[in-house]
Structure 1
């Protein structure tokens, strides 16, 4: 194993943890993770040498200043959460750089027992609840990135939905980085108790030049029996940020997880979205899109691991690549021995708009049980000239015809965003990236 120069020493890490009044077990876990980061290897990614990327700038923890009003946010961030209107919406959390600066929860949800606050606050106010689930889905000793995240995370979000509570309105989080020296590694923990349901939406954005800053984030979702979680996320970080995100859900009997992910970065990125279907009758539905420009390198993985009987997973990944960008698109369905009657279906499609762009679609089926169904489809190609010709024959210009085809290609994911404000934002981001 190789050794790693750490972004912080052990003494400073412990001092920071104590200054934030974190529980002793969190401080100890951070110490252990930091030590592991010196020996663990980088994750092994399909056709991507992440060890050759510049992953040295994780920033330094800086105490965040609480916002008295959302008006203090940069215009792009403010518009994203308010839609350009005035006032402060309910059920909103905002993290700026190292810490959460704004948090609100409606009185209605609070009375139902819903908790939505920064993970740092939850460690103090709801310690036993967090301790029960924190790093139960993503372990700190899996590889170097998970170890570094466990040592360095700050801010983050904690969403808890009690048994039988149906949250009818989406809760929203905004993660903003605009300080090149400040760490930016949020941890999102969502727990949906038995027969509850909730929709969570977040956006990642950046402002200014951030000198190669690494965003090393993690999402853990615990879906109890009969519960459903819809998780939507749009990442729009600029070319000066490397975006590394691991998302994972553990789903129990008859539980459901729905993923809707828009990877709209401008810098290099690794995105891993995984459903662990532990329970019988558990389901996962994942829809992911990405648009690559410039000389971006993207590694996008979506996976489902079936343990439960009659579990079902569906995956759709769409990528559009232009300029000299490259994307490795992985779909992995793993059906373990004993997961009888399981079904796993996946589709990966890559549309290349430039002869210098590259996209690899890798459908992978790993089946250890006989009595199952599984299938995959994958394609890599350019805009179909026959489709362009057909649209042009109806009086549409070639440029507009190509644009319509591309938007139609991405629409199966874009149309599923559960919050109109975020859906509109994603459509705008697609237009910007494809219109360069």
Structure 2
């Protein structure tokens, strides 16, 4: 199978630079060395049974050389937005050094290696040093192919808001990956609310942060399908800060396994995780939150809070808070709770004429909105509140 897949990968790289073709072929060989997980096995089995190596690339017009392509992707305020494979030829140094190297590593897991090997497309966003982007950068696509990847590089002192709302329309399991690389003193607000069509899916958002950079992640997981996630921020430089705020709903027979981690590597770094989730029907919702403070990260602050509300006797929730501390001079704490809906609250609402479904909708909104209302962009917040309302109206057996 490897030789056949290697040939298919080579054929799909006909217009790619040599370094990218070799890297993707190495990923095919590397993936067999990793132990797999049950969720990854389901995805891998579907990919290997019918490898999809078509390329999803948005047009940049009739440009044929690198300078013309760069000009086509250059925004009037100085930042770049190009299809990923196009950028590999136009900005080879930036992509060779950074694509699946510093944030999502293609050498970390079987799923990551195969994601690179079977890569179908994505976007490349480059914001040069000192550039302040006033309007949100929207990463929106309906993607019929399973492996889509965004690489976002934000230079020193640059500022931007990134809004990712992507839909996987194909039936094969999807892997959506986004890498956020922040230079010294950069600031990024990142919003994500993706949708999937396949039964089993994976999404990863990983960040690498240089000194004094600030990243705020705002995540809404309102999809109906089985999902594993990998949300991660590496505070490599001194004085960096990362905050991850997330809300999620699991319903029907859905299984959500949410991995969230902030690594305090540099001194005086600040990491904060806040995640609220609701499980109902026969769903399973797992929160695994990790705050790791490495030796030498003196003066670091690592905090996390995970809360799950269960609305039925048949659903399951697990909150697994972990603090790994290798330095003495730090401030760290965690809180986790799993609780059933209060029977008295439910009875009170039903006694006022509400159905059980409508009562659960009100309780869910009351549980998730305190986090959702902390998302700073009003227009985006209102959009997510509307998505939440639509999600709550869906009924499952």
Match of 2:138 among 172, 179, 183: 172
Q: Give the 3 Å change call, closer, same or farther, for CA 306–63 of structure 1 in structure 2.
A: closer
Structure 2 residues not aligned, in runs of 5+:
61-68
Structure 2: distance between partners of 1:322 and 1:264? 13
Structure 2 matches for 1:267-346, cutoff 5 A? Answer: 267-346=225-304
- Structure 1 window deviating more from structure 2 (49-58 vs 24-33): it is 49-58
Aligned 8 A contact 2:105 2:112 in 1: yes
Aligned mate of 2:167, from 200, 205, 221:
205
- Find the counterpart in structure 1 of residue 91 from structure 2: 126
- Per-residue CA distance 1:134-181 (angstroms, 9 max, x = gap): 222222111100110111112111111111111111011123234xxx
Give the structure 2 partner of residue 100 of structure 1: none
Q: Does 1:370 align with 2:328?
A: yes
The TM-score, its normalising length taken from structure 2, stands at 0.88
Please give the per-residue CA displacement for 1:230-251, whole angstroms capped at 9, x wherever unaligned: 111112213x342212221111
- Work out whether 1:57 is the aligned partner of 2:53: no
Alpha-carbon distance between aligned partners in 1 of 2:56 and 2:27, rounded to the nearest angstrom: 24
Task: Please give the per-residue CA displacement for 1:85-110, whole angstroms capped at 9, x wherever unaligned.
Answer: xxxxxxxxxxxxxxxxxx9x999x72
CA-to-aligned-CA distance 1:244-281 (integer Å, 9 cap, x gap): 12221111111011111112222211111001001111
Rounded Cα–Cα distance in structure 2 between residues aligned with 1:220 and 1:65: 18
Q: Does 1:37 align with 2:3?
A: no
Paired residues in the alignment total 380
Asked if 2 retains the 8 angstrom alpha-carbon contact of 1:162 and 1:192, the reply is yes
Q: CA deviation at 1:192?
A: 0.9
Check the 8 A contact 2:84/2:124 in 1, yes or no.
yes
Larger RCO: Structure 1 or Structure 2 (Cα < 8 Å, ≥ 6 residues apart)?
Answer: 1
Task: Choose the corresponding residue for 1:219, options 174, 178, 181.
Answer: 178
**What does residue range 35-434 of structure 1 map to in structure 2 within 5 Å?**
35-42=29-36, 49-50=38-39, 53=42, 55-58=44-47, 59-64=51-56, 110-137=75-102, 138-178=104-144, 183-207=145-169, 210-211=170-171, 213-238=172-197, 240-388=198-346, 397=354, 399=356, 400-417=358-375, 422-434=380-392
CA–CA distance in structure 2, aligned partners of residues 25 and 40 of structure 1: 23
Deviations 1:3-33 (A, max 9, x none): xx66961111111101xx1110000000000
Uncovered stretches (5+) of structure 1, i.e. residues with no partner: 44-48, 69-102
Q: 1:9-68 CA distances to partner (integer Å, 9 max, x unpaired)?
A: 1111111101xx11100000000001111232225xxxxx32563542235123548589
Q: Give yes or no for contact 1:7–1:57 (8 Å, CA) kept in 2.
A: no
The 2-side partners of 1:66 and 1:274 are apart by 28
C-alpha contact (below 8 Å) 1:215/1:241 kept by paired residues? no
Instruction: After superposition, give the CA deviation of every residue in 1:284-337 in whole Å (9 maximum; x if it has no partner).
Output: 010112111111111101110111111001111111111111011111000001
